[in-house]
Amino acid sequence: MNVEEFRDYCLSKNHVTESFPFDEETLVFKVAGKMFALAGLEHHPATVSLKCDPEKALELREQHDEITPGYHMSKIHWNSVIIDGNLSHKLIRELVDDSYNLVVKGLTKKQQKEFGFES
């Protein structure tokens, strides 16, 4: 998966915005104002950071060389993922989905209702 495909997938999710809040090299994706993905545009190979459940993060790091502790992020809650390597597009989309869903679950009930995420 290349960065454009990654970007398109992130933007296909509900209430997602993109911006460059830190610098001109780091593209940040937010849902309801909270970060769920970052793409370092200067990284070769293409690498992104995604939020992850701490236990699952450790499992993924053990299973895949392309997944490492989050670069410049909390090493417990974030993974850095090489997206243009050997990982399948399906797995990368699942990791994006997990990150997005973790952030949505972390919103207050009021925010979830406001953005239409309540079940």
pLDDT at 119 over 70: no
Does residue 119 form part of some domain?
no
pLDDT of residue 85: 87
Query: Phi/psi at 13 (nearest 5 deg)?
Result: -85, 155
- Within 13 A of 90's CA, how many CA atoms are on the CB side? 0
In a domain, 92, yes or no: yes
- Asked if the structure places residue 26 within a domain, the reply is yes
Average pLDDT of every residue of the chain: 94
Domain range for 87 is: 3-114
Q: Is residue 104 part of a domain?
A: yes
Looking up residue 10, the CATH number of its domain turns out to be 3.90.1150.30
Q: Are 2 and 83 in contact (CB under 8 A)?
A: yes
Residues 6+ apart with CB under 8 A from 104: 31, 32, 112, 117
- Tell me the per-residue pLDDT of 6-29, one tens digit each, with 9 for 90 and over: 999 999 999 999 999 999 999 999
Note the pLDDT of residue 36. 97
pLDDT, greater one: 71 or 40: 40
The tens digit of pLDDT for each residue in 41-59 reads 888 899 999 999 999 999 9
39 three-class SS:
strand
Number of domains in the chain: 1
Tell me if 98 is assigned to some domain: yes
Judge contact between 105 and 32, C-beta under 8 A. Answer: no
